[in-house]
Amino acid sequence: MKSLIRRMWLAVLFLAPIVLSAQSTARSENVEASLVPEVTAVAPGQTFTVALRMRMDPGWHTYWRNGGDSGLPTEIVWDLPQGFKTGEIQWPYPEWIETPPLVTLGYHDEIYLLVDITASKDIKPGETLRLKARADWLECEVVCIPGGVDLQVELPVQKEAGAANPELLQVFSEARHRLPLRDSGWAFAAAREGKEIVIQARAPEWYKDTPGTIRFFPYESGLLDYTVPQKISFNNGVVTARLALSSMAPEEIKQIEGLFVAENGWRGAQSEKALYVKADIGELFADAGTSGLDVGSFLYFLLFAFIGGMILNLMPCVLPVLSLKIMGFVQQANEDHSQAWKHGAVFTLGVLVSFWVLAGILLILRAGGEQLGWGFQLQSPLFIIILSFFLFLFALSMFGVFELGTSLTTIEGKTGKKSGWSGSFVSGVTATVVATPCTAPFMGSALGFALTQPPWVSMMVFTFLGLGMAFPYMLLASMPGLLKFVPKPGRWMESMKQFMGFLLAATVLWLLWVLAQQAGGMMVVIVLGGLLLASMAAWVYGRWGNLAMPPKTRRISSFIALLITAGALFLTIDSVDTFAATPGTTVDAAVDGEGIPWQSFDEQKLKQFRDEGREIFLDFTAAWCLSCQVNDRVTFGNEEVQKVFRERGIVAIKADWTNRDEAITRALASFGRNSVPLYVYYPPGRNSAPQLLPELITPGIVLDVFKENDALTRK
């Protein structure tokens, strides 16, 4: 036991200098920072790496080299001995931080910013090397606060190159894994198409994987509109990204530089997720859309489509009429079984024509500029909202709140009585219509593949979907004796139907999670409210719109249910504009779009306006302040607020604290504040007391302040 304790103490004494030399820690209000050298010692002329470790408090973040819609990058100013050289910050790929209507690019929790340093050849072994640096950053949660600390760390100088600190091998390995992959073998091309910029990345021959979900992070601020969903696909070994340009983008763009960040990595599973992109604006790859169709994947999806089509026949809305259809074929052939298969073939043609029409409509819309692949659709908050309503209502139908397939089955009963080939053809069309509501849970993968391929491939996939659905009909029409193997309707069908309802409800839950990533939690709450109204509409329709009710009652209930559903959907979709509005990229852009004649902050001018008894509204803001930008868009972009400012002749002053300004700092301190946003209202009169508004303001808050002041004046 004593021997073990002695060994532990020796280990502590041995590692103590290493640990102490690697941790020189200081703290701002919400961020802890330290300089962490990768090596335990330095030799003359050696190049080594030092990391600025930043550990943010929960909920707080700092910014990447491009902060997005707001934010400033972390800066490091080194104070090193003469003859030392430092490299640029090596930026890990950032997070996509959405706070509607803005998007920022930065880091939560903990991040390591690596910097390479080359020591002077003149340092002497046996000396102690002291590395000093000043780090400054913006730390943001609801408000943004400038943060910064002075740091230093000491390392011994020795004759031989210092070895890597064994305690930090994993730390630096993980930090480098987050750096972008360069010289990767990927080729790039880019072109400008109207209000979009298109970037392509062609995989090297050895790359046989798929990168998965991809997002592009530009190095240049103000270039892209981050609120417009990025349309990025990977087909035939080529990544194609269609990115919306911001209103502040220059007319002439010669080059695009940034990162592609993929969930699966760029060298296979578990590899680097960030890929450095640099491309001159010119022409795209000529063969990006036609080369190298993966035959194996193509055959796989054809098989998947065929099986998915067959599974449709097991859905509750289709299975009950399956036996009736086949018996109808036999009767139409006047019990001549040799003719039954012909009716089955015509029925199959009806199914195929229906799928071809559906595919044609989708392909025409896609050719017209609509991106209809599942990956593109789920990047659109509008599409997710509509799909959530659609699936939620179908889940309620499967739970029995209302019946949706009754009228369709009635149609089938009528068309099934028609004689001749036309009856079989119409039955095929009707079967497809009856099954269409049930396709989503089974056809998603096949449709996702089809709608990202050339038109002929898409049509093949849809054809196999139709063949799969028609196959059981064709088989049973040719061999009626097999009808005895068809499952008979029973209570099991009701259980299966309700189970499918839970699967659809789970799909809605997943869609709402996707929506939260795009438009924030408040948008999810609004959608949930819309779904609540839709459920009330479904209840009204199911309670008074069923076949047991008089025709007049059914018509009225159907109208009310439709009105409630349409209203809920309209109000929900209308909210997207508020929570996913297109922001500007700078404070000046916000001013130009607000319609309020803002003046720059000046202490003398403010004193002059106060002496004149003018009504003043003072806005302390900054381009890097997320809350400031949201307030600018929501409140000062409101037409009613702009109108009141003009009518009252309010002096609007904007104190822009984007860059440190001693005058603005003093002004903030005079109100007991050291951060933005801050809004101060001076009522008319030389001796009026300033009123401080909340940090998060709305049009109603601002207008109420004016009304309250008017009411006090009248008294």
Inside any domain, residue 252: yes
Give the number of domains in the chain: 4
Q: Which of 46, 78, 160, 65 is nearest to 106 (CA)?
A: 65
Among 135, 156, 177, residue at a domain's last position = 156
- Angle at which helices 639-648 and 699-714 pack, to 10 degrees? 30
* Across 393-403, average pLDDT: 78
Query: Under a CB-based contact definition with an 8 Å cutoff, are residues 173 and 184 in contact?
Result: no
- pLDDT per residue as tens digits for the range 360-387: 766 665 555 444 433 334 446 777 788 7
pLDDT of residue 365: 58
- CATH number for position 270: 2.60.40
* Rounded Cα distance, 473 and 347, in Å: 8
Query: Under a CB-based contact definition with an 8 Å cutoff, are residues 589 and 625 in contact?
Result: no
* Rounded Cα distance, 147 and 55, in Å: 13
Most confident of 5-9, 401-405, 523-527: 523-527
* Rounded Cα distance, 190 and 223, in Å: 14
Inside any domain, residue 276: yes
- pLDDT per residue as tens digits for the range 139-189: 999 888 999 999 999 999 998 888 788 888 888 888 988 999 887 788 999
Query: Under a CB-based contact definition with an 8 Å cutoff, are residues 385 and 515 in contact?
Result: yes
Residue 535: strand pairing partners: none
Do 362 and 230 have their domain in common?
no
* Across 40-58, average pLDDT: 94
- pLDDT per residue as tens digits for the range 410-419: 444 444 444 4
pLDDT of residue 3: 45
Do 149 and 191 have their domain in common?
no
Q: Beta 238-244 vs 231-235: how paired, if at all?
A: antiparallel
- Sorting pLDDT into bands at 50, 70 and 90, what band is 102? confident
* Rounded Cα distance, 56 and 29, in Å: 10
pLDDT at 429 over 90: no
Do 435 and 354 have their domain in common?
yes
pLDDT at 339 over 50: yes
Among 474, 490, 506, residue at a domain's last position = 490
Query: What dihedral angle (degrees, nearest 10) is formed by the CA atoms of 368, 370, 371, 373?
Result: -90
Q: Which range (190-204, 321-335, 423-437) has the least confidence?
A: 321-335
* Rounded Cα distance, 193 and 249, in Å: 13
* Rounded Cα distance, 256 and 657, in Å: 30
pLDDT at 239 over 60: yes
Tokens 């086949």 label which residue?
A: 326
- Sorting pLDDT into bands at 50, 70 and 90, what band is 334? very low
Do 66 and 195 have their domain in common?
no
* Across 112-124, average pLDDT: 94
Cβ neighbours around 444 below 10 Å, total = 13
* Rounded Cα distance, 611 and 605, in Å: 10
Contacts 24+ apart (CB under 8 A), 247-253: 247/582, 247/584, 247/589, 248/222, 248/584, 248/585, 248/586, 248/589, 249/222, 249/223, 249/224, 253/192, 253/197, 253/223, 253/281
Query: Under a CB-based contact definition with an 8 Å cutoff, are residues 48 and 116 in contact?
Result: yes
Amino acid at 178: R
- pLDDT per residue as tens digits for the range 455-479: 777 788 888 888 887 787 777 667 7
Domain that holds residue 681: 587-714
- Sorting pLDDT into bands at 50, 70 and 90, what band is 10? very low
Do 299 and 334 have their domain in common?
yes
pLDDT of residue 627: 67
* Rounded Cα distance, 186 and 237, in Å: 10
CA 513 vs CA 206, 261, 263, 389: distances in Å? 35, 20, 17, 14
Inside any domain, residue 286: no
**In angstroms, what is the C-alpha Rg of the chain?**
33
Inside any domain, residue 176: no
pLDDT of residue 347: 77
Q: Which of 355, 440, 512 is nearest to 448 (CA)?
A: 440
> Cα angle vertex 674, ends 670, 676, to 5°?
105
Give 684-710 as a DSSP string.
SSTTPPPEEEPSS--HHHHHHHHHHHH
Inside any domain, residue 502: no
* Rounded Cα distance, 225 and 45, in Å: 45
pLDDT at 106 over 90: yes
Amino acid at 712: L
Do 274 and 421 have their domain in common?
no
pLDDT of residue 585: 33
Eight-class DSSP state of 168: G
Do 206 and 260 have their domain in common?
yes
Tokens 């593109």 label which residue?
A: 376
Residue 132: strand pairing partners: 79, 152
- Sorting pLDDT into bands at 50, 70 and 90, what band is 442? very low
* Across 382-399, average pLDDT: 78
* Rounded Cα distance, 234 and 420, in Å: 48
Do 276 and 301 have their domain in common?
no
Do 133 and 252 have their domain in common?
no
pLDDT of residue 8: 42
Distance of CA 145 to the CA centre of its chain: 26
- Sorting pLDDT into bands at 50, 70 and 90, what band is 653? very high
Query: Under a CB-based contact definition with an 8 Å cutoff, are residues 350 and 423 in contact?
Result: no
- Angle at which helices 521-544 and 491-519 pack, to 10 degrees? 150
Distance of CA 178 to the CA centre of its chain: 20
Cβ neighbours around 701 below 10 Å, total = 14
Cβ contacts of 205 within 8 Å, gap of 6 or more: none
HEC-encoded secondary structure of 279-316: EEECCCCCCCCCCCCCHHHHHHHHHHHHHHHHHHHHCC
- CATH number for position 662: 3.40.30.10
Bond prior to 101 in cis (omega within 30° of 0) = yes
* Across 236-242, average pLDDT: 90
Do 121 and 232 have their domain in common?
no
Do 82 and 33 have their domain in common?
yes
pLDDT of residue 599: 93
Classify residue 230 by burial, with Cβ atoms within 10 Å: 0-12, 13-18, 19+. middle
Inside any domain, residue 521: no
- Sorting pLDDT into bands at 50, 70 and 90, what band is 20? very low
* Rounded Cα distance, 226 and 218, in Å: 10
* Rounded Cα distance, 236 and 568, in Å: 41
Do 274 and 310 have their domain in common?
no
Inside any domain, residue 544: no
pTM (2 decimals)? 0.51
Among 111, 136, 156, residue at a domain's last position = 156
Inside any domain, residue 597: yes
